[in-house]
Amino acid sequence: MTKVRKKSTALFHIALMAACLICVDTSAQLKSYKNVVEDAQNKMVKIYGAGGFQGLEAYQSGFFISSTGEILTTWSYVLDAEDIVVMLNDGQKLNAKLKGYDPRTEVAILKVEVLNVDYFNLDKAVKLRSGSKVLALSNLYGVATGNEPASVQFGVVSAKTKLSARRGAFDTNYQGSVYVIDAMTNNPGAAGGAITDRRGNLAAIIGKELRSSKNNIWLNFAIPVSEITDSIDAIRSGKIIAQADPKAKLADEPMTVKLMGIVLLPNVVSNTPPFVDRVVRGSVADKAGIRPDDLIIEAAGQLTTSRNALENKLKTIERDTPVKLTIQRGRKFLNIEIDLNK
C-alpha cells in the first residue's frame, strides 16, 4: 500500500512540475489569436497562374520567407505559366519569377521585386506535436481578392505520420512526414498556405488537395518545414534551377538524347514533358537503367519541365562530360548518371 502511495505521490509531483511548466508557458504574455493572425497576414500572398478550367483552380497560396521577396509555395500546374502574378496582403500586384522547385517535395520558390517585407523566418520554424494548436492561413477557394486578408482556420495536430504509410490510398509524389490536422485546411487554392503554432511561428506548409482513392475522404495535411529545408536550400543555392541560364555557353560538341540512346515522346506542344518513349537496346541509357515512360525531371541540376528545356540544357554540356539525370518513375525518384565514355 505504502509503496503504491509513494509512487502515486511521485507521479503527482511530476504532474505538478509539468503543470507548472505549462503554467509558465501560458502565463507568458500570449497574444490573442486575433493579433497573431493580424501579424501573420502581412507575410501571406495570393498566387495566380495557369488553370481556370475543368475544376483546376488558377490560384494558390504562398508566404514570404525573406525580406527581399522570396515566396515559398507548392509546386503545381498553377506555376506552369508564363505570367505568375502575386498579390500581397496590401493589395499590391506583382509579377513573380519562378526561382526553382523540387518535384520530390513539391515545393517551389518564387521571387518578386520588393524590399523589407514581413516574412516567416525558416530558421525559427517550430516543430509540432500531436495535440498542438495550429492556425492555418491560406486563400482557400480564392475567397479573398485584392487587399482582403487570407482565410484563417483553427485546428489541432491530430497526428504526425508519413504519407507513404498510406500508399495506394493517397496518390502523391511527396512521401515524407506530414502533420495531419483536424481542421478542413486542404481546400482548392489552399496549397502553399502557412501552418503556424499558437504564437504565429511557422511550422509547416499546407499540402495539395489529396483524396483517398479508397473512401473519397480528403486528407488535411501539411508538410513540416524541417522536411523541406533541403529542397529550399537547394533551390536557393541554385542547385535546382527552373530556367536555363541564357548566358550559358553552348558546348562545341553537345550532348544529345540520341547519343544516350533515348527516344522522347514527340514534341507536340511547346511544353511537352520529357517522357521517354523508347530506349535503344544496348545503348548507354539502356545500360544505365532508363526505361520507357520514365520522366526526366532534372538534368545536371536543372529542372527540365519540357523537352525543349531538356534539349537546351544538353546543348550546354560537352558530350564527354558525364550527365546526372533525375528520373521520375511512377512515384519513385531515381538518380542516374549517363557517361558516354563508359
Partner 1 sequence: MKNISTVIALTAMIILPSQFAVSQKVDSKVRDAEKARVAAIAKATQSTISVFAPGGRGGGSGVVISKQGYALTNYHVVKPCGNYMQCSLPDGKLYDAVLVGLDPVGDVAIIQLLGRDDFPAATLADSDKVKQGDWCFAAGNPFLLATDFQPTITWGMVSGVNRYQYPSKTLLEYADCIQTDAAINPGNSGGPLFDANGDVIGINGRGSFEKRGRVNVGVGYAISINQIKYFMDHLMSGRIVDHATLGATVYTDDRGRVIVDAILETSDAYKKGLRYEDEIVRFGGRSIQTVNQFKNVLGIYPRGWRVPLTFRREGKNYDITVRLAGVHDVEKLTEMIQGKPSSKPKGKPGDAKKSKTPRKKGGIPKAAKDRIEVRRGFANYYYNRLRRTEIWKAHIGAQDYSKLQGKWKISARASDGTVVQILLDDEKSGIQWGEDPYVLDPEKDLSEQLYPRQTGGLLPALHLWRRLLIQGPEKFGSLHYFGSLPLEGEKKYPHVFEGTFDVAVTNFFFNRDSHQLIAQEMFLDPEGNAVEVRFDDYQEVNGVMFPRKIKTTVSGRPTEIRFNKIEFQK
Span of 20-28, 246-254, 255-263, 331-339 interacting with partner 1 by CB under 8 A: 20-28
Alpha helices in the chain (DSSP H): 2-27, 33-41, 225-236, 257-260, 284-288, 307-314
215 interacts with partner 1 by CB under 8 A: no
Tell me how far, at minimum, the Cβ of 135 lies from partner 1, in Å.
8
Contact pattern for partner 1 over residues 29 through 48, marking x by CB under 8 A: ---xxxxxxx--x-------
Q: Nearest distance from residue 267's CB to partner 1, in Å?
A: 33
Q: Which three cell numbers stand for residue 323?
A: 550527365
Q: What's the CA angle centered on 136, arms 132 and 142, to 5 degrees?
A: 165
- Whose cell is 502557412? That residue is 194
The only residue of 6, 20, 67, 238 in contact with partner 1, by rule CB under 8 A: 20
Q: Does 154 bind partner 1 (CB under 8 A)?
A: yes
Selected from 6, 9, 280, 293, the binder of partner 1 by CB under 8 A is 9
Taking the CB of residue 94, how many other CB atoms lie within 10 A of it? 17
Q: Does 144 bind partner 1 (CB under 8 A)?
A: yes
- Residue 5 CB, nearest approach to partner 1 (Å): 7
* DSSP codes of every residue in 258-287: HHHTEEEPP--STT---BEEEE-TTSHHHH
Contact 136, 126 (CB under 8 A): no
DSSP type of residue 250:
P
Check: CB of residue 148 under 8 Å from CB of residue 172.
no
Comparing CA positions, the residue from 98, 107, 97, 194 lying closest to residue 151 is: 194
Smallest gap from residue 259 Cβ to partner 1 (A): 46
Q: Which of residues 64-103 bind partner 1 (CB under 8 A)?
A: 91-93
Confirm or reject binding of residue 118 to partner 1 (CB under 8 A): no
Cβ of residue 311: shortest distance to partner 1, in angstroms? 36
Site for partner 1, rule CB under 8 A: 1, 4-5, 8-9, 12, 15-16, 19-20, 22-23, 26-27, 32-38, 41, 55, 91-93, 135, 140-141, 143-155, 183-185, 187-188, 218
